[in-house]
Chains A and B, each alone.
Chain A
């Protein structure tokens, strides 16, 4: 390039912040609308009723999506750094059990801690978030300090946290929870929690240094380190956040069920990863947005609800779900290829 040409061809100032390209969320949103419309049409043909014009159904969808969504917000950040978190489902079970044991009412016959009943909501909340934080920090520290692959570190946590959940009460459920605690699982509250969490981390990823560093590490960890980012400390932060959010999801799950069982949250980690990936988060790191993940989670919810609505056999549901997850990644890979010049 010659200097004259460089000046002549110097990039014209772009007015729009992100250039002319449509944000990737638009295409994901179109997929969501497409799926919903297909159900709508099939609904009129086969079931003789509307899929979308049913407030109860939509409420159930969004409620079911909320817990997975809360987890997925954390998992998305982990995946952006180029990692993975397989432990979130088990952390849900573990925190549900432990948090619930600090939320039992004195009226209940056999509380876990007979001396600690009728505590204010803040106690189980802090305990639950703290347990999630601990699990996340252990994940992050293992990955950052020992350099073992995130897959292995979080696989270990997945197995151990589930073990803790079962060991905690030797398998029996924790019931008789206070109304104060259950409140967070009633009505539209889980959705509120989900949307608040999504909003906070959408802002964090887009507009804070934390976010910029997260993308940088995922794009090129070596370059990030040379650029002065304390990669180890940052990874611990990201996994800790994922842990806290899994803990929050555990509290919401127990509150919704008004009881905690050690089997809560099984395979949630996979649904959360699926939501992130359908939402455009790339498993190779550096790419992904919370808005995409939110839509991805809703797509999962709509799909499942639609199957039930169309009275598709539960066995087929899982098979088709698997296919759709893979298809989403295939589409994403092609999209990435096309963006490359």
Chain B
């Protein structure tokens, strides 16, 4: 017997809530989408005052479960109990009013409104004339920020805030609903280390106030740092729940993938050839300057540095997305002018961008259309007509080689998981037979299994003589995959490290120099 939100609110107000063992209790949830069984008989229990991490590869069902808890999806079967009472959530508003708030991976704030307006939207304090009382609203916001130890101006416009600060606003908003359950979907994916530390402080303080926090993450070290318990999902099924102090990293990976990953970073030592790409004194006004480096055939050059250090801008400039204001680029010893991605492709370059959704995928188009688009510049086209059979065959071979998990090549890319979207993009570029491959955060937001596959692939390409540039914020990835590491800080190159001498500490030193 499900209780409506209003009844629930009344019960809560009367204080007659039964003392339930679990704050949130999910039993036997099943959710099916056309062609996919996203959740199959899944159960999950959240204790009061704990941080509970959800682990699993992309497509394991974590996000679907969270969306059910947040009222975005309605389950086909199963029940959700909040403090022992069965509830049925039909909309995100339902969830909020029941005390369940979700902080989405893609932040949902209105950029042209102030911080305070964003937090109190729909619940603005009114003055005697029925108009919004901005003064009071700013005060309420300041109080809230005080409580959470957030240093932000309630009157600032959201579009002027950094991603980290926007996240703080989202958290404050969730807390302002007096939520009992807070769901965080990969909250640290765009934060610097210091910002992560601050976020964790806030999470700990919320936990001590008895709030239960569901925390989705792909980062193993976060799990050990912040989570009390964790549950693992795999292919839409619940695998198990453990205290995070009881297990090792390898145990978790094993649970997540159902097998042991023997080698995360299968970097092979391969003979390094001649210089393929040579960059000299490359500058982009007000963004970065004096960047010089060489990449050789078969070499993987890692670029490390904090977000905002100009790493991605260098990649975009080399690829012609934002042409350089000064400096020179030479390929195979010959100076080249690259003013557009098109020219970069003609010179044998490929670029897998940082942001899959913004600059990578054609989300509403299908796998085939996504894969073929870059290679159509010069191959598979006769008199303007696309050689459909040949290109379909090539894409099919590529998607099988990359193990893209999709029902068929006619599936819309937006229906694939992040890891599979990334594989489609890699396939798009491999079809062009690149000599120089630039990867910007190639495994961000991707599950362990797909990650290992991508690493293996990159290593394989280097072995075939491709010159690889790999930008990454993940230290183990940079250290594990690179032959050499170039470190950047505030638009300048602060140093190079060889594979043998590179350590996490040395990289961090250079990155904050």
Contact pick for A219, options B363, B377, B385, B407, CB 8 Å: B363
- Minimal Cβ-Cβ distance residue in A for B33: A341
Chain A residues with CB under 8 Å of B372's CB are: 212
Bound complex: CA of A1 vs CA of B449, how far in Å? 6
Is B358 positioned at the interface, with any CB of A under 8 Å from its CB? yes
Is A287 interfacial (CB 8 A cutoff)?
Answer: yes
Is A7 positioned at the interface, with any CB of B under 8 Å from its CB? yes
Knowing A1-B419, A9-B405, A208-B386 touch, does A224 contact B410 (C-beta < 8 A)?
no
- Given A2-B258, A227-B374, A10–B400 Cβ distance below 8 Å? yes
**CB-CB contacts of B91-133 with A at 8 A, as 1s and 0s?**
0000000000000000000000000000000000000000000
28 A-B contacts (beta carbon < 8 Å): A2-B258, A2-B259, A12-B408, A13-B396, A13-B408, A14-B408, A17-B410, A18-B410, A21-B410, A208-B386, A212-B372, A212-B373, A216-B362, A216-B369, A220-B359, A224-B362, A226-B319, A228-B340, A228-B344, A228-B345, A228-B377, A230-B342, A287-B364, A339-B412, A340-B414, A340-B415, A341-B34, A341-B35
Least CB separation from B425: chain A residue: A223
Q: Say yes or no: is A170 at the interface (Cβ < 8 Å to chain B).
A: no
Q: Which of B57, B345, B361, B405 contacts A220, CB < 8 Å?
A: B361
**Bound CA–CA A11/B415 (angstroms):** 14
Residues on A with C-beta less than 8 A from B359 are 220, 222-223, 226
Q: In the complex the two chains form, what is the Cα distance from A3 to B403 in whole Å?
A: 8
Shortest beta-carbon distance from B283 to chain A in Å: 21
Residues on B lying within 8 angstroms of A by beta carbon are 33-36, 57, 59, 235, 257-259, 319, 321, 340-342, 344-345, 351, 353, 358-365, 369, 372-374, 376-377, 381, 384-386, 388, 396, 399-400, 403, 405-412, 414-415, 419, 428, 447, 449-450, 453
Closest A residue to B357 by beta carbon equals A220
Closest to B35 in A: A341
* Cβ–Cβ contact B235 & A5, under 8 A: yes
Query: Quick check: is A229 within 8 A (CB to CB) of the other chain?
Result: yes
Chain A hits for B258, CB < 8 A: 2
Asked if A93 is at the interface of the complex by the 8 Å CB criterion, the answer is: no
Answer yes or no: A337 CB below 8 A from chain B CBs: no
Query: Could you tell me the distance in whole angstroms from the C-beta of B482 to the nearest C-beta in chain A?
Result: 24
A219, B358: Cα distance in complex, Å = 11
With A2-B258, A11-B408, A21-B410 already in contact, 10 other A-B pairs whose C-beta atoms are closer than 8 Å: A1-B403, A1-B447, A2-B449, A3-B449, A9-B405, A13-B408, A215-B365, A220-B358, A220-B363, A228-B341
Q: Are A219 and B362 in contact (CB under 8 A)?
A: yes
| CB pair B376 A209 closer than 8 Å | yes
Complex Cα gap A249–B54 (Å) = 60
Across-interface contacts of B374 in A (CB, < 8 A): 227-228
In the complex, A6 has a CB within 8 A of chain B = yes
Are the CB atoms of A227 and B373 closer together than 8 Å?
A: yes
Complex: A232 Cα to B351 Cα, angstroms = 20
Does A46 count as interface, using CB distance less than 8 angstroms?
Answer: no
Query: Are A229 and B373 CB-contacts (below 8 A) given A3-B453, A286-B364?
Result: yes
Contacts of B59 in A (CB 8 A): 1
A115 in the interface (beta carbon within 8 A): no
A2 to B259, CA, bound (A): 8
Contact at B410–A14, with CB atoms within 8 Å? yes
Asked if residues B415 and A212 are in contact (CB atoms below 8 Å), the reply is no
Q: How far is A340 from B72 in the complex, measured between Cα atoms in Å?
A: 14
CB distance from B233 to the nearest CB of A (A): 13
Q: Are B405 and A1 in contact (CB under 8 A)?
A: yes
* Residue from A19, A210, A340 within 8 A of B408 (CB atoms): A19
* In the complex, chain A residues whose CB is within 8 Å of the CB of B360: 223, 226
- A335 interfacial contact with B, CB 8 Å: no
Of B33, B369, B373, B411, which is in contact with the most chain A CB atoms at under 10 Å from its CB?
B373
Interface residues of A in 202-238 (CB under 8 A from B): 207-210, 212-213, 215-216, 219-220, 222-230
Contacts of A5 in B (CB 8 A): 235
* B57 touching A1, Cβ below 8 Å: yes
Does A209 lie within 8 Å of B381, measured CB to CB? yes
B34 contacts across to A, CB distance below 8 A: 341
Residues of chain B contacted by A341 (CB below 8 angstroms):
33-36, 415
Nearest Cβ in chain A — how far from B415, in angstroms?
5
Known: A9-B405, A14-B410. A229 touches B342 (CB 8 A): yes
CA distance A213 to B386 in the complex (A): 11
Inter-subunit contact B345/A11 (CB<8 Å) = no
B364 engages A219 (CB within 8 Å): yes
- Residue of A at shortest CB range from B360? A223
| A residues in contact with B33, CB < 8 Å | 341
| Complex Cα gap A9–B358 (Å) | 29
Residue from B362, B410, B449, B450 in contact with A286 in the complex, judged by beta carbons closer than 8 Å: B362
CA distance A103 to B32 in the complex (A): 65
Known: A226-B353, A228-B377. A7 touches B385 (CB 8 A): no
- B405 proximity list for chain A (CB < 8 A): 1, 6, 9
Smallest CB separation, A103 vs chain B (Å): 32
Please name the residue on chain B nearest to A339 by beta carbon. Answer: B412
Query: Which residue from chain A places its CB closest to the CB of B321 in the assembled complex?
Result: A226
A227 B409 Cβ-Cβ under 8 A: no
- Do B257 and A2 touch across chains, with their CB atoms under 8 A apart? yes
* A230 close to B340 (CB less than 8 A): yes
Q: How far is the CA of A12 from the CA of B399 in the complex (A)?
A: 12
B363 CB to closest chain A CB, in angstroms? 7
> A224 touching B373 by the CB < 8 A rule?
yes
Which residue on chain B has the smallest CB distance to residue A9?
B405
- Rounded to whole Å, the gap between the CB of A117 and the closest CB of chain B is 39
Query: Please, how many angstroms separate the alpha-carbon atoms of A157 and B507 in the complex?
Result: 57
Among all A-B residue pairs, the 6 with the closest Cβ atoms: A19-B410, A219-B362, A228-B345, A14-B408, A6-B403, A227-B374
Report the nearest B residue to A222, measured CB to CB.
Answer: B359
CB of B386 within 8 A of CB of A227, answer no
Query: Which residues of chain A are near B340, meaning CB under 8 Å?
Result: 225, 228, 230
Hey, which chain B residues are within 8 Å of A227, CB to CB? 341, 373-374, 428
> Do A212 and B410 form a contact, CB below 8 Å, given A1-B57, A1-B59, A3-B403?
no
| A207 with B386: CB separation less than 8 A | yes
| Given A219-B365, A220-B363, A224-B373; A10-B403 close (CB under 8 Å) | yes
Name the interface residues of A11-45: CB closer than 8 Å to any CB of B.
11-14, 17-19, 21
Q: Which of A293-341 contact B (CB under 8 A)?
A: 339-341
User: Using Cβ atoms and an 8 Å threshold, which residues of chain B touch A225?
Assistant: 321, 340-341
Residue of A6, A210, A219, A223 contacting most chain B CB atoms (<10 Å): A223
In the complex with contacts A1-B419, A209-B384, A223-B362 CB distance below 8 A = yes
Across-interface contacts of A230 in B (CB, < 8 A) = 340, 342
Q: In the complex, which residues of chain B have a beta carbon less than 8 angstroms from the beta carbon of A12?
A: 408
Q: In chain A, residues 166-187, which have Cβ atoms closer than 8 Å to a Cβ of chain B?
A: none
Note all chain B residues with C-beta closer than 8 A to A11. Answer: 399, 406-409
Max count, chain A CB within 10 A of own CB: residue among B363, B364, B450: B364
Contact A209–B386 (Cβ < 8 Å): yes
Q: Which residues of A contact B373 (CB under 8 A)?
A: 212-213, 216, 224, 227, 229
Which residues of the other chain, B, contact A340 by a CB distance below 8 angstroms? Answer: 412, 414-415
How many Å lie between the Cα of A215 and that of B359 in the bound state?
15
Q: Which B residues are in CB contact (< 8 Å) with A229?
A: 342, 373, 377
Which B residues are CB-close (under 8 A) to A3? 403, 449, 453
- Taken together as a complex, chains A and B put the C-alpha atoms of A287 and B366 apart, in Å, by 11
Nearest Cβ in chain A — how far from B23, in angstroms? Answer: 30
